[in-house]
A = this chain, B = another copy of it.
Amino acid sequence: MPETRLDLARIRAARRVIDPVFLDTPLYPCEALEPVLGCAVSIKLETANPVRSFKGRGTEVVVSGLAGAVVCASAGNLGQALAWSGRGRGLDVTVVASRYATAAKLDRIRALGARLELVDGDHELARERAAALARRDGIRLVEDSLDLETCEGAATIGLELAAAAPSFDVVLIALGGGALATGVGHVLRSEAPGTEVVCVQPAGAPAMTRSWHARRVVTTGPTDTIADGVAGRRPIPEVLADLLVVADDAVLVSEASIIAGMRLLLEHAGLVVEPSAALGIAAILEDRDRFAGRHVVTVVCGGNVDPAAYHGWVG
């Protein structure tokens, strides 16, 4: 058993409180990508649900034990998911986000009935503000990746990957705060130990990857990436500690590769994905030899984009 904050029995229990609309998502080979990428690619699709990202798995676990009010900081997907899960439980949900966040995500948070507070700064400032609100009002603060429920929810993707036959050689996971990577990684380490766990982050937001390589928290200055969902600057020590146990590697990719990945997923898989969801394909593009001839699964973790921005990237 990998020694992290996570526990397989708790992850299995988490699965039982998650609305089935978020579970057992499509996992299928996309052969059209094979000649382009030089390896067999399977897609784990986390966008075909009410909030178009994997975050609903975690927020369902968060709200399962909750009453009253809850607040989180979000680049947009966690906020949407918490708004959705909270609405179902009659919770009073507040989301703090950067005013520079993806407009489509902010619109959906409002439409789902959450109170949205915008800060004039980046995601780290939103985290500070959310924490201050929680202290002031005495309400539950949901901290993505630090709160175990968010990791356990994401980890249920790992259960579904581990149950698949045939097993995969490599799993490519977008790396931001770390909930997805540590959650999925923990399960694969114990249930599919032969599968390599590779985390992928934009070179323009490299804090967690640098931290993983340095084996200590490395913070950075302002991020510079279109992958808004993974653009943190201050890794959480507890999450890094888990990531050091479960990840085989953490790699950085360029913005050009992320855009190329989005384009390939559109043209060869018919998928509109947000930049974070193309990180896995970007990693293959940047190191074809590493993946050549292997069976790779990439977690397509979100599909919330501003149509105009998406068109500008993908053309």
Contact with A50, one of B29, B49, B112, B304 (Cβ below 8 angstroms): B29
| Binary interface encoding of chain A residues 42-54 relative to chain B, with 1 for a CB under 8 A from any of its CBs, else 0 | 0101011110100
- Closest CB in chain B relative to A80 CB, distance in Å: 10
**Contact partners of A29 in chain B: CB under 8 A:** 50
Q: Does A103 contact B (CB under 8 A)?
A: no
Q: Are B52 and A270 in contact (CB under 8 A)?
A: yes
Q: Does A28 contact B (CB under 8 A)?
A: yes
A1 to B197, CA, bound (A): 51
**Contact partners of A26 in chain B: CB under 8 A:** 21, 25-26, 48-49
Q: Does A31 contact B (CB under 8 A)?
A: yes
**Contact partners of A309 in chain B: CB under 8 A:** none
Q: Does A271 contact B (CB under 8 A)?
A: yes
| Binary interface encoding of chain A residues 13-48 relative to chain B, with 1 for a CB under 8 A from any of its CBs, else 0 | 000000001001111111110000000000101011
Within 8 A of B (CB), among A236-291: 266-267, 270-273
Q: Are A28 and B32 in contact (CB under 8 A)?
A: no
Q: Are B32 and A270 in contact (CB under 8 A)?
A: no
Contact with A28, one of B49, B111, B307 (Cβ below 8 angstroms): B49
Within 8 A of B (CB), among A108-153: 108, 111-112
- Closest CB in chain B relative to A166 CB, distance in Å: 12
Q: Looking across the interface, which residue of chain B has its beta carbon closest to that of A112? A: B31
Among A25, A28, A108, A270, residue most surrounded by chain B Cβ atoms (within 10 Å): A270
- Closest CB in chain B relative to A31 CB, distance in Å: 7
Count of A residues near B, CB < 8 Å? Answer: 30
Q: Are A32 and B307 in contact (CB under 8 A)?
A: no
- Closest CB in chain B relative to A174 CB, distance in Å: 17
Q: Does A101 contact B (CB under 8 A)?
A: no
Q: Are B305 and A111 in contact (CB under 8 A)?
A: no
Within 8 A of B (CB), among A286-313: 303-305, 307
**Contact partners of A49 in chain B: CB under 8 A:** 26, 28
- Closest CB in chain B relative to A281 CB, distance in Å: 16
Within 8 A of B (CB), among A70-125: 108, 111-112
Q: Are B47 and A28 in contact (CB under 8 A)?
A: no
**Contact partners of A267 in chain B: CB under 8 A:** 307
Given contacts A32-B108, A45-B48, A266-B272, 17 further A-B contacts (CB under 8 A): A21-B26, A21-B28, A24-B24, A25-B26, A26-B26, A26-B48, A26-B49, A28-B50, A29-B50, A30-B50, A31-B111, A32-B111, A48-B48, A266-B307, A267-B307, A270-B304, A271-B272
Task: Provide a sorted-by-A list of 9 A–B residue pairs whose CB atoms are within 8 angstroms.
Answer: A25-B26, A29-B50, A32-B111, A43-B48, A45-B48, A48-B48, A266-B307, A270-B272, A270-B273
8 smallest A-B Cβ distances: which pairs?
A26-B48, A270-B272, A270-B303, A45-B48, A28-B49, A21-B28, A267-B307, A28-B50
